[in-house]
C-alpha cells in the first residue's frame, strides 16, 4: 500500500507532471529537461529526486551527465497511471510547449554532432 501512496503523492505537483510528460518521450538528460521546462538545475534535480524516491524514474550517469527515464513496472497501478498520464497530459497547452522546446533542443543537439 505504501508504494501506491508514494506513486500518487508524486503526481501532486505541476513540475513533476511536466517532467513525467517529457520522460514519456524516452530517456532524457537533465540539461535537456531544464531547457524544456525553463527551470534551474536545482529545481529540476529536486523534483527528479522525488520522482526517483517514489518509484517513477531511474537515473544513470554517463560522464558528467545524468539521464532519467521512467521505470518499467510490473505493478498494475503504475502501468495504469502511466497510461492515464499519457492520455490526459498530452492535450495540455503547457505540456505541448514543453515538448516543443524539448524537440527543438534535441534537434539542435543532433545537428551539432560530428559525422
d(CA 46, CA 33): 13
> Is 35 within 8 Å of 44 (Cβ atoms)?
no
pLDDT of residue 92: 93
- Cell numbers for 35: 531547457
Residue 27 CB burial class (10 angstroms; 0-12, 13-18, ≥19):
middle
> Which pLDDT does position 74 carry in this prediction?
67
Average pLDDT per block of 10 residues along the chain, 115 residues long = 80 95 95 96 96 94 92 78 89 94 88 60
Q: pTM for this structure?
A: 0.90
Q: Which CATH architecture has domain 2-110?
A: Orthogonal Bundle (1.10)
The 3-state DSSP class for residue 31 equals helix
Indicate the domain borders of the chain. 2-110
Distance CA 52, CA 59 (A): 8
Amino acid at each position: 500500500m505504501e508504494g501506491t501512496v508514494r506513486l500518487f503523492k508524486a503526481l501532486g505537483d505541476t513540475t513533476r507532471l511536466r517532467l513525467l510528460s517529457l520522460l514519456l518521450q524516452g530517456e532524457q538528460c537533465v540539461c535537456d529537461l531544464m531547457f524544456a521546462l525553463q527551470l534551474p538545475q536545482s529545481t529540476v534535480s529536486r523534483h527528479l529526486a522525488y520522482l526517483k524516491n517514489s518509484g517513477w524514474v531511474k537515473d544513470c550517469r554517463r560522464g558528467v551527465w545524468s539521464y532519467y527515464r521512467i521505470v518499467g513496472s510490473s505493478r498494475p497501478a503504475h502501468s495504469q497511471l502511466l497510461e492515464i498520464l499519457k492520455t490526459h497530459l498530452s492535450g495540455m497547452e503547457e505540456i505541448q510547449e514543453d515538448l516543443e522546446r524539448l524537440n527543438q533542443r534535441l534537434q539542435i543537439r543532433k545537428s551539432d554532432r560530428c559525422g
